[in-house]
Structure 1
Amino acid sequence: MISRASAPGRDLHSALDRAGFYPRLVADVLEDALDGREPLAHLIHLETHFDRTEVHRHVTALVLTADALVVAHVDDQQLDELGEDMMAQVSTETVPVARIGSVVLSYMYHQPQNYRSTDKVREVSLGIAWSGGQRLDLAPAGCADPQCDSDHGYTGTLQQEDLVVRISAEADGMQAVEDARHFARALRKLSAGNPAEPRWQPETRPARVAPRFIRGHHQG
């Protein structure tokens, strides 16, 4: 099992227990994906989605080691109306730290006109890119004339990302937001590496047109 002797090991197991989403299953999945590596930092994010009469949960587990980022996704789904027959779908990916191209941390502050240095950030989105894949978000373009009904084509943004995790104080608690910031700092520090070392360059791939990508999530 993942070592409970070290502080990172204890904290990881505690985070899995707090999430309460098949903690033993997720721990075993992570142990297999880690291949004996020692965890340095982690981020466990649980989301719940409602689909009519069904409740779907999804956990994203990120574990950082000295040379790799382990990403695990676990979904559950009920196979009968009573919810007695359940199935869990699990996927893992091990990404060499040298392949991580960018770490983006977006912040959301409420009432910025009253901002003070002691104010806590209320929401963060952590974006990590490593494969060279890109996401293109499109929307109809317009003009300043409210009476204009001409076709102005489309406008959009092109972003490079393989994973996005959004954490808010309202949904996940203030500690979860701080945990995400701590993980992002650890990931930035490790992935930056030695500037004298050659960095891995992602291969060029065509951009894909899609709505905001959240891997493995059920949409309500």
Structure 2
Amino acid sequence: MSSATYSTTAGAELQHDLVRAGFYPQMVQDVLAEAMLDQPVVDHLLHLETHFDHTEVHRHITVMVRSEKVLFIVHVDDQQLDDHGKDVMAQVSVEMIGLSRIESVATSFVYHQPQHYSSSDPVRELTFGLSWDGTKRIDLAPASCGDPQCDADHGLNGTSQPEDLVLRVSAEADGQNAVDKAREFAVRLRLATIS
């Protein structure tokens, strides 16, 4: 592990949050240190999510770490390879995005009981999206001419949509503190991308 990466107060807070989340903290720290090449941590946001699929529990974590000029995104999924959960695999992906490449930092808020809204009301749910034109999802389907008797090949129709990063944080599932942290991170990231 690089000492420079975690040498700042923000780096120590990231280490603390990773350990507190308890989702392979040492592995995530080591992957980040290798990716960041001694750049110190300036800011971070960590989002841990658990979902259930029939009899299996799946967890994944997304960690966004900002250095002075780059945003690092680490995503870790784990998966059971046997029925007893003794053989587990973790898949880790890392992406580096120059802050100058970030085209959009989008936030969507949910307030409860808006008819009684006051300025001190907390945001109960936040959807946080980033776009840097890094990944596109292409959906294709066979084209048709509208004639039900036609069996000619009309090619394909499709759409291409940016699919960079979207996180949803809710007070009900993640706690109000997690929503507030995500909102504050989004504001700081927005300011970093325009400066």
TM over 0.5: yes
Q: Give yes or no for contact 1:129–1:162 (8 Å, CA) kept in 2.
A: yes
The one-letter code of the counterpart of 1:111 is Q
Change (3 A) 1:83 1:26: same
Q: Give yes or no for contact 1:127–1:161 (8 Å, CA) kept in 2.
A: no
Q: Which residue of 2 aligns with 1:124?
A: 126
Q: Which has the higher contact order (CA 8 A, sep 6+)?
A: 1
- The CA deviation at 1:32 is 1.1
The 3-state SS of whatever aligns with 1:184 is helix
Q: Which residue of 2 aligns with 1:10?
A: 12
Q: Which residue of 1 aligns with 2:27?
A: 25
Kindly report which structure 2 residues correspond to 1:175-194, keeping only aligned pairs within 5 A, or say none.
175-193=177-195
- The CA deviation at 1:187 is 0.7
Q: Give yes or no for contact 1:2–1:9 (8 Å, CA) kept in 2.
A: no
Q: Give yes or no for contact 1:8–1:39 (8 Å, CA) kept in 2.
A: yes
The one-letter code of the counterpart of 1:93 is E
- The CA deviation at 1:75 is 0.4
What are structure 1's unaligned runs of at least 5 residues? 138-157, 194-220
- The CA deviation at 1:5 is 4.1
- The CA deviation at 1:134 is 5.6
> 1:68 pairs with 67, 70, 77, which one?
70
- Aligned mates of 1:54, 1:129 — CA distance in 2: 32
- Aligned mates of 1:99, 1:161 — CA distance in 2: 15
Asked if 1:80 corresponds to 2:82, the answer is yes
Q: Give yes or no for contact 2:7–2:40 (8 Å, CA) kept in 1.
A: no
- Aligned mates of 1:85, 1:35 — CA distance in 2: 32
- Aligned mates of 1:136, 1:79 — CA distance in 2: 30
Structure-1-length-normalised TM-score: 0.74
Q: Provide the identity percentage.
A: 53
- Aligned mates of 1:108, 1:159 — CA distance in 2: 25
Asked if 1:51 corresponds to 2:53, the answer is yes
Change (3 A) 1:34 1:5: closer
Q: Give yes or no for contact 1:2–1:27 (8 Å, CA) kept in 2.
A: no
Structure-2-length-normalised TM-score: 0.83
Aligned residue-pair number: 174
Runs of at least 4 residues of structure 1 off by over 2 A? 1-6, 132-137, 158-161
Q: Which residue of 2 aligns with 1:111?
A: 113
- Aligned mates of 2:134, 2:88 — CA distance in 1: 35
- The CA deviation at 1:38 is 1.0
- The CA deviation at 1:6 is 2.2
Note the alpha carbon deviations across 1:91-131, whole angstroms, 9 max, x for none: 00001111100000111100100011111111101100001
Q: Give yes or no for contact 1:75–1:90 (8 Å, CA) kept in 2.
A: yes
What are structure 2's unaligned runs of at least 5 residues? 140-159
Kindly report which structure 2 residues correspond to 1:192-211, keeping only aligned pairs within 5 A, or say none.
192-193=194-195
